[in-house]
Structure 1
């Protein structure tokens, strides 16, 4: 009986038994006897599992508490009374149609409840793990803004990450809301 292995002169090899002198190491069957390393098969991840791997964690969502880091009267009053701002709505496309609604990342607009008032703000710092080169903060920070995009305060007390510069420039529209004025009043950048 002829087999393809005999015709082509291929030798088959099973798992190492360790009984002969030539078999000093355990190897998988598809590696030749002379191969020393690697003696394992690479892990295979299905493509459907790879699509949902995000290299940074999720951001803030509804009911998350935020620290106001500008010097507006509302921010100072909330800090003095120990009542941080709470997110009511996140204006972001990330995870917009998921059960817990959208996730807010750096530079996203949010609607906050501060001292019984509704104010819009921009996220400028997150506690969650970030991508390499993006700083993490001790608290979730927000800067309160008006409807036209102007900041409510005249100074920002916390340092801002440099990565939000292009995000705010991209989202700015001179006829609707100009977020670049927030960049002008920031003194510390990381």
Structure 2
């Protein structure tokens, strides 16, 4: 009876390079970027001439500070798509990413409040969400091809909200802990 060495032991060098060092590198460079995904239009409505826009809000050193910063900017109503005052920006999704563009946390914007989404608990759950979001994006593509731009935008928005739960595995535990903490009123 022979045992496969690879099945029982991994060299310490392999463990260091594949697991330990990437996490240390991420922790060292943990500056986080907060940005808002929304819709821009000239009249403030949901007309066919409106378009999607991503607005960078700023950088923060920690997830807690990024959440507070995003909530403050949203509550003040000072998120603008450009310097043109005629353009109205309607925020829809708030996103926090690390320097490597890994998703740390995301949430839906409703009535100037961010409803942060609970991260997926497993890779299996993540696969289900990816499948459902892909289905919604396919439906959006079809609706757009039929000229129904409003429905296409809403389907893409629903897909984005599902994808908001696809937090990077490195950040899942941190995000879950942050969302389990009581929020100050």
More strand by share: 2
Same fold (TM over 0.5): no
Scaled by the length of structure 2, the TM-score of the pair is 0.30
Which gives a bigger RCO, structure 1 or 2 (Cα 8 Å, sep 6+)?
A: 2
Scaled by the length of structure 1, the TM-score of the pair is 0.29
